[in-house]
Amino acid sequence: MTDENKREEEIIEVYNCELPKRILMVVTNACEAKNHDKTGVWLEEFARPYLAFLDEDYIITVASPTGEIAPIDPASESLIKDIKWNEAKKALNDTLPLDTVDYTVYDAIVLPGGHGPMFDLAVNETLGEIINYFDKHHKLIAAICHGPAGLLPAVKDGIPFVNGRKLTCFTNDEEYAYKKENMVPFFLEDALKNAGALFTKSDVGAINVIQDDNLITGQNFQSSELFAKTIIKYLSENT
Protein backbone atom coordinates (compact mmCIF):
# COMPACT_ATOMS: atom_id res chain seq x y z
CA MET A 1 0.00 0.00 0.00
CA THR A 2 1.40 3.40 -1.00
CA ASP A 3 1.63 6.25 1.50
CA GLU A 4 -1.02 8.10 -0.52
CA ASN A 5 -3.49 5.19 -0.34
CA LYS A 6 -2.82 4.83 3.38
CA ARG A 7 -3.61 8.50 3.94
CA GLU A 8 -6.83 8.13 1.95
CA GLU A 9 -7.91 5.18 4.12
CA GLU A 10 -7.14 7.15 7.28
CA ILE A 11 -9.24 10.06 6.04
CA ILE A 12 -12.16 7.74 5.20
CA GLU A 13 -11.89 6.08 8.63
CA VAL A 14 -12.03 9.46 10.41
CA TYR A 15 -14.91 10.60 8.20
CA ASN A 16 -16.93 7.47 8.97
CA CYS A 17 -16.23 7.60 12.71
CA GLU A 18 -19.40 8.61 14.53
CA LEU A 19 -18.92 11.64 16.73
CA PRO A 20 -20.13 11.32 20.34
CA LYS A 21 -23.56 12.73 21.07
CA ARG A 22 -23.63 16.00 22.97
CA ILE A 23 -26.28 16.43 25.67
CA LEU A 24 -27.26 19.65 27.41
CA MET A 25 -28.88 18.91 30.79
CA VAL A 26 -30.58 21.94 32.34
CA VAL A 27 -31.35 21.81 36.05
CA THR A 28 -32.87 24.12 38.63
CA ASN A 29 -31.19 26.47 41.09
CA ALA A 30 -34.31 26.81 43.25
CA CYS A 31 -33.88 25.38 46.74
CA GLU A 32 -37.07 26.51 48.46
CA ALA A 33 -40.70 25.87 47.55
CA LYS A 34 -43.79 28.03 47.96
CA ASN A 35 -44.41 26.74 51.49
CA HIS A 36 -40.69 27.13 52.34
CA ASP A 37 -40.03 23.38 52.20
CA LYS A 38 -36.64 22.46 50.77
CA THR A 39 -36.66 21.55 47.10
CA GLY A 40 -34.29 21.35 44.13
CA VAL A 41 -33.34 18.65 41.63
CA TRP A 42 -34.89 15.22 42.24
CA LEU A 43 -31.69 13.19 42.27
CA GLU A 44 -32.91 10.05 40.48
CA GLU A 45 -34.33 12.06 37.58
CA PHE A 46 -30.91 13.58 36.99
CA ALA A 47 -28.66 10.68 38.01
CA ARG A 48 -30.18 7.85 35.99
CA PRO A 49 -30.07 9.70 32.65
CA TYR A 50 -26.70 11.30 33.42
CA LEU A 51 -25.01 7.98 34.23
CA ALA A 52 -26.73 6.24 31.31
CA PHE A 53 -25.39 8.94 28.99
CA LEU A 54 -21.88 8.49 30.38
CA ASP A 55 -22.15 4.77 29.66
CA GLU A 56 -22.87 5.69 26.04
CA ASP A 57 -19.79 7.96 25.97
CA TYR A 58 -21.96 11.02 25.39
CA ILE A 59 -20.49 14.46 26.08
CA ILE A 60 -22.62 16.05 28.79
CA THR A 61 -22.88 19.68 29.85
CA VAL A 62 -24.87 20.51 32.98
CA ALA A 63 -26.26 24.03 33.09
CA SER A 64 -28.65 25.98 35.29
CA PRO A 65 -30.15 29.48 35.20
CA THR A 66 -27.48 31.04 37.43
CA GLY A 67 -24.73 28.41 37.32
CA GLU A 68 -22.73 27.03 40.25
CA ILE A 69 -24.49 24.59 42.62
CA ALA A 70 -27.79 22.99 41.65
CA PRO A 71 -29.43 21.98 44.96
CA ILE A 72 -30.67 18.43 45.41
CA ASP A 73 -34.08 17.91 46.97
CA PRO A 74 -33.14 16.26 50.29
CA ALA A 75 -36.20 13.99 50.05
CA SER A 76 -34.59 12.32 47.04
CA GLU A 77 -31.35 11.37 48.81
CA SER A 78 -30.36 8.32 50.81
CA LEU A 79 -27.08 6.67 51.78
CA ILE A 80 -27.42 3.95 49.15
CA LYS A 81 -28.28 6.44 46.44
CA ASP A 82 -25.44 8.73 47.51
CA ILE A 83 -22.95 5.91 46.92
CA LYS A 84 -24.53 4.66 43.70
CA TRP A 85 -25.04 8.08 42.16
CA ASN A 86 -22.08 9.95 43.62
CA GLU A 87 -20.62 10.81 40.21
CA ALA A 88 -23.89 12.38 39.17
CA LYS A 89 -24.11 14.34 42.43
CA LYS A 90 -20.68 15.83 41.78
CA ALA A 91 -21.86 17.14 38.41
CA LEU A 92 -24.51 19.24 40.19
CA ASN A 93 -21.90 21.05 42.26
CA ASP A 94 -20.54 23.17 39.42
CA THR A 95 -23.05 23.89 36.67
CA LEU A 96 -22.62 26.45 33.90
CA PRO A 97 -24.82 29.55 33.67
CA LEU A 98 -27.33 28.75 30.96
CA ASP A 99 -26.82 32.02 29.09
CA THR A 100 -23.11 31.22 28.57
CA VAL A 101 -23.73 27.91 26.81
CA ASP A 102 -23.49 27.57 23.01
CA TYR A 103 -26.59 25.42 22.74
CA THR A 104 -26.32 25.10 18.96
CA VAL A 105 -23.67 22.37 19.25
CA TYR A 106 -25.86 19.91 21.18
CA ASP A 107 -27.90 16.97 19.90
CA ALA A 108 -30.40 16.98 22.77
CA ILE A 109 -31.61 19.00 25.71
CA VAL A 110 -32.77 17.17 28.84
CA LEU A 111 -34.71 18.74 31.72
CA PRO A 112 -34.76 16.71 34.97
CA GLY A 113 -37.41 17.44 37.56
CA GLY A 114 -37.83 18.03 41.23
CA HIS A 115 -40.19 20.82 42.26
CA GLY A 116 -37.42 23.37 41.71
CA PRO A 117 -38.06 23.88 37.96
CA MET A 118 -41.52 25.21 38.79
CA PHE A 119 -39.84 28.29 40.28
CA ASP A 120 -37.09 29.12 37.79
CA LEU A 121 -37.11 27.02 34.60
CA ALA A 122 -40.83 27.72 34.14
CA VAL A 123 -40.12 31.42 33.58
CA ASN A 124 -36.64 31.35 32.06
CA GLU A 125 -36.66 33.21 28.74
CA THR A 126 -33.26 31.85 27.68
CA LEU A 127 -34.52 28.31 28.10
CA GLY A 128 -37.57 29.20 26.04
CA GLU A 129 -35.31 30.39 23.21
CA ILE A 130 -33.28 27.19 23.40
CA ILE A 131 -36.37 24.97 23.25
CA ASN A 132 -37.61 26.87 20.20
CA TYR A 133 -34.21 26.50 18.52
CA PHE A 134 -34.11 22.76 19.20
CA ASP A 135 -37.60 22.32 17.84
CA LYS A 136 -36.88 24.37 14.71
CA HIS A 137 -33.82 22.22 13.98
CA HIS A 138 -35.61 19.02 14.95
CA LYS A 139 -33.24 18.21 17.78
CA LEU A 140 -34.34 16.11 20.73
CA ILE A 141 -36.15 17.79 23.63
CA ALA A 142 -36.70 15.66 26.74
CA ALA A 143 -38.13 16.45 30.18
CA ILE A 144 -39.28 14.41 33.16
CA CYS A 145 -41.60 14.92 36.14
CA HIS A 146 -41.55 18.71 36.82
CA GLY A 147 -38.90 19.23 34.14
CA PRO A 148 -41.63 19.96 31.54
CA ALA A 149 -42.15 23.25 33.40
CA GLY A 150 -39.11 24.34 31.40
CA LEU A 151 -41.10 23.91 28.19
CA LEU A 152 -43.58 26.64 29.16
CA PRO A 153 -41.40 29.67 28.26
CA ALA A 154 -41.04 28.37 24.69
CA VAL A 155 -43.53 30.40 22.67
CA LYS A 156 -43.22 31.33 18.99
CA ASP A 157 -45.51 33.76 17.21
CA GLY A 158 -47.82 33.57 20.21
CA ILE A 159 -48.13 29.78 20.06
CA PRO A 160 -46.70 27.70 22.94
CA PHE A 161 -44.25 24.99 21.98
CA VAL A 162 -46.37 22.40 23.81
CA ASN A 163 -49.53 23.29 21.89
CA GLY A 164 -50.73 20.14 20.11
CA ARG A 165 -47.86 18.02 21.48
CA LYS A 166 -48.44 14.73 23.27
CA LEU A 167 -46.68 14.78 26.63
CA THR A 168 -46.85 14.02 30.33
CA CYS A 169 -45.50 15.30 33.65
CA PHE A 170 -45.99 14.88 37.40
CA THR A 171 -49.77 14.88 37.62
CA ASN A 172 -52.20 16.72 39.83
CA ASP A 173 -53.13 13.38 41.38
CA GLU A 174 -49.48 12.77 42.27
CA GLU A 175 -49.12 16.22 43.86
CA TYR A 176 -51.98 15.31 46.21
CA ALA A 177 -50.91 11.71 46.71
CA TYR A 178 -47.43 12.77 47.82
CA LYS A 179 -48.83 15.75 49.77
CA LYS A 180 -46.94 18.26 47.64
CA GLU A 181 -49.88 20.40 46.55
CA ASN A 182 -48.91 23.26 48.90
CA MET A 183 -45.35 23.38 47.56
CA VAL A 184 -46.15 24.45 44.03
CA PRO A 185 -46.95 27.91 42.62
CA PHE A 186 -49.27 26.21 40.10
CA PHE A 187 -50.18 22.70 38.96
CA LEU A 188 -47.97 21.75 36.04
CA GLU A 189 -50.52 19.39 34.50
CA ASP A 190 -53.04 22.24 34.34
CA ALA A 191 -50.51 24.72 32.93
CA LEU A 192 -49.53 22.35 30.12
CA LYS A 193 -53.16 21.62 29.27
CA ASN A 194 -53.94 25.36 29.28
CA ALA A 195 -51.08 25.86 26.81
CA GLY A 196 -52.70 23.35 24.45
CA ALA A 197 -50.75 20.19 25.28
CA LEU A 198 -52.31 16.81 24.57
CA PHE A 199 -51.78 15.54 28.09
CA THR A 200 -51.44 11.82 28.82
CA LYS A 201 -51.18 10.38 32.31
CA SER A 202 -51.06 7.05 34.05
CA ASP A 203 -51.77 6.02 37.64
CA VAL A 204 -49.95 7.60 40.56
CA GLY A 205 -46.38 6.30 40.60
CA ALA A 206 -46.78 4.30 37.39
CA ILE A 207 -43.99 4.27 34.82
CA ASN A 208 -45.07 6.43 31.90
CA VAL A 209 -42.92 7.83 29.09
CA ILE A 210 -44.47 9.58 26.10
CA GLN A 211 -42.67 10.15 22.81
CA ASP A 212 -44.06 12.59 20.27
CA ASP A 213 -41.56 12.92 17.44
CA ASN A 214 -38.60 14.91 18.87
CA LEU A 215 -40.26 15.40 22.29
CA ILE A 216 -39.85 12.80 25.05
CA THR A 217 -41.45 13.27 28.47
CA GLY A 218 -41.64 11.16 31.62
CA GLN A 219 -44.36 11.35 34.27
CA ASN A 220 -42.42 10.85 37.50
CA PHE A 221 -39.18 9.67 39.10
CA GLN A 222 -40.30 6.05 38.71
CA SER A 223 -40.03 6.62 34.95
CA SER A 224 -36.39 7.77 35.08
CA GLU A 225 -34.81 4.57 33.78
CA LEU A 226 -37.20 4.17 30.86
CA PHE A 227 -36.90 7.90 30.15
CA ALA A 228 -33.12 7.54 29.80
CA LYS A 229 -33.42 4.44 27.60
CA THR A 230 -35.94 6.18 25.33
CA ILE A 231 -33.60 9.14 24.86
CA ILE A 232 -30.67 6.88 24.00
CA LYS A 233 -32.77 4.87 21.56
CA TYR A 234 -33.95 8.06 19.82
CA LEU A 235 -30.42 9.41 19.49
CA SER A 236 -29.11 6.10 18.13
CA GLU A 237 -31.79 6.08 15.43
CA ASN A 238 -32.10 9.76 14.52
CA THR A 239 -28.71 11.46 14.75
Domain coordinates of the chain in residue numbers? 21-238
Give pLDDT, residue 84: 83
Separation of alpha carbons 95 and 209, rounded Å: 27
Give pLDDT, residue 79: 64
Please say whether the beta carbons of 207 and 133 come within 8 A: no
Give pLDDT, residue 14: 41
Per-residue pLDDT tens digits of the chain, which is 239 residues long: 555 555 555 544 444 457 899 999 999 999 998 889 999 999 999 999 999 999 999 999 999 999 989 999 999 988 666 778 999 999 999 999 999 999 999 999 999 999 999 999 999 999 999 999 999 999 999 999 999 999 999 999 999 999 999 999 999 999 999 999 999 999 999 999 999 999 999 999 999 999 999 999 999 999 999 999 999 999 999 97
Give pLDDT, residue 210: 98
Give pLDDT, residue 102: 98
21-238 under CATH 3.40.190.10, yes or no: no
Separation of alpha carbons 231 and 140, rounded Å: 8
Give pLDDT, residue 7: 53
